[in-house]
Structure 1
Amino acid sequence: MSIATPVIEIRKLWTQFGDSVIHRDLDLSIAAGEIVGLVGGSGSGKTTLVRQILGLNRPTRGQVLVFGTDISSANVDQMARLQNRWGMLFQQGALFSALTVLDNVALPMRELRALPRRLIRDAALLKLQMAGIGPEHALKMPSELSGGMIKRVALARALALEPELLFLDEPTAGLDPASSAAFVDLIRSLHRDLRLTVVMITHDLESLLALSTKIAVLADKHVLAYDTPQQVMKIKQPFIENFFLSAHHEQQVG
């Protein structure tokens, strides 16, 4: 039986800015269908790692392969095809303030220059519906939306091209507990229904444990631990113990 190619495979990655080494011999392999939570202290290189996976930064050395393609050596056409297979939800939503909700979601489809205008409109409305945003909000401007609605519109835009791979940067940051719980439920259902692979940076312990099938802990310039939440929480190491202290406490209380 053949082993499926990982969606993301990182081999012996080094990242260095001047004299500062961010990653040293970092290895990480993410299989299709996983929800991987990336955690680590400030300066551990979580955002830098995601930017390298997206091809926005090049590593000093090592390999980053996405869907089997080496990002560092990919040509323009290969990168364009890859970019159509992933979506990104930015921490603050990063909606275009001068565009309506509908136009924000439609923009990635319009940039393809391959779809009729009516089809794009209907597809954008469908993506909004999938993210829990009704058509009555389609012509609103981002300034008219709550924080939770901005997250949902941004998620709809990230799903516009029907990606297989979804990146989430602090998806519940700035949300109240009820909105955060609802957004976690939304991501979980979309992951299941669309068969997504998800890579998520988060400091929110509750959403991390609620969503992650695996947790990758970045510390000491590499992936210190990579396993299920239950197994990672058992590891005796200062950063891991401090990070999961509240979770340990809740388990003991429960």
Structure 2
Amino acid sequence: MVPDEDVGPPVVEITGLWTKFGRTVVHQDLNLQIYGGEILTIVGGSGTGKTVLLRQMLGLERPARGCVRVFGEDISEADADQLRRMRNHWGMLFQQGALYSALTVFDNIATPLRELRALPEDVIRDAVLLKMHMVGLGIEHANKMPSDLSGGMIKRASLARALALEPQLLFLDEPTAGLDPDLSDAFVALIQSLHRELGLTVVMVTHDLDTLFALSTRVAVLAEKHVIAVGPTRDVLEVDHPFIKQFFLGARGQRALEVLDETEAANESEKQEDGK
């Protein structure tokens, strides 16, 4: 399914992409478009190259063949200076947070701002505290080291750093991995709120079906070296493919779908009440 024409050109456009490791072909003529304002979730079995694809969108790896355009620029051909400039327009939340262990929370979040070498320290301080507030991280944690933080706090600090440069595009790699259900639900709600308030385009890789159903505008399924299905979650569920049946329609998927159905029913009821 392709979004309506009035959404404009894709923010990320991948065409004819091949990924090889030695003689092993991971992606072959893979095509994918990601549009402004959506949350697109990439799923696939082990070895389908989900995280590799994310790294190629970030310019951290180059495909063997094909084109990866981000904001209209071919990132697969960009030099170091072009990549540095382009990276100011996106943020990345890594699976384990990837905070610098020798820096405080404050300095971790400040790092992207300081790397610009253009902002006075008082402006950086205000920006860091604002980002901490945005992600629900109290200023009392500013001088803590990452080793002093809980898993949920690490996620929030990492998200604040990813948002430091006010990006248009946010990449999430397993954003709720390692969190207990309550913390996972709270983090999902935070991402929903930031997506809505900041108008972000989000690209996410996750195995967690509750997170996928709660957040995704569209889902792209990787299998057989291609994107075999892409569209709204319920449309993807209708695709007759063994991986889709296994991943979405097993016991975990059924439970997550029940929660989704209940949430949608509650939202519809609220709309009807508001309309009275």
Work out whether the TM-score is over 0.5.
yes
Compared CA separation, residues 228 and 111, structure 1 to 2 (3 A): same
1:241 maps onto 2:245 in alignment: yes
Give the match for residue 138 of structure 1: 142
1:104 maps onto 2:134 in alignment: no
Give the match for residue 223 of structure 2: 219
1:34 maps onto 2:34 in alignment: no
Q: Distance in 2 between matches of 1:214 and 1:94?
A: 27
* Structure 2, gaps ≥5 residues long: 262-276
1:22 maps onto 2:10 in alignment: no
Offset, 1:247: 2.7
**Which residue identity does 1:139 align to in structure 2?**
N
- 1:190-249 residue CA offsets vs partner (Å, 9 max, x unmatched): 001110000001000000010000000000001010000010111121100100123346
**Which residue identity does 1:63 align to in structure 2?**
C
More helix by share: 2
Query: Partner of 1:84: helix, strand, or coil?
Result: helix
How big is the alpha-carbon RMSD for the aligned residues of Structure 1 and Structure 2? 1.5
Q: Distance in 2 between matches of 1:250 and 1:70?
A: 37
- Kindly report which structure 2 residues correspond to 1:191-206, keeping only aligned pairs within 5 A, or say none: 191-206=195-210
Q: Distance in 1 between matches of 2:169 and 2:9?
A: 14
Q: Give aligned pairs, total.
A: 254
**Which residue identity does 2:149 align to in structure 1?**
L
Q: Which of 115, 120, 124 is residue 120 of structure 1 equivalent to? A: 124
Query: Partner of 1:184: helix, strand, or coil?
Result: helix
Offset, 1:48: 0.7
Compared CA separation, residues 105 and 238, structure 1 to 2 (3 A): same
Q: Which runs of 4+ in 1 moved over 3 A?
A: 248-254
Give the match for residue 53 of structure 1: 57
TM-score scaled by structure 1? 0.96
Query: Partner of 2:202: helix, strand, or coil?
Result: strand
**Which residue identity does 1:39 align to in structure 2?**
V
% identical aligned pairs: 64
Give the match for residue 67 of structure 2: 63
Offset, 1:136: 1.0
Are the counterparts in 1 of residues 237 and 248 from structure 2 also a CA contact under 8 Å?
yes
Q: Which of 180, 185, 192 is residue 184 of structure 2 equivalent to? A: 180
Compared CA separation, residues 87 and 3, structure 1 to 2 (3 A): closer
Give the match for residue 73 of structure 1: 77
**Which residue identity does 1:149 align to in structure 2?**
M
TM-score scaled by structure 2? 0.89
Q: Distance in 1 between matches of 2:154 and 2:205?
A: 18
Instruction: Report which stretch shifted further, 240-249 or 138-147.
Output: 240-249
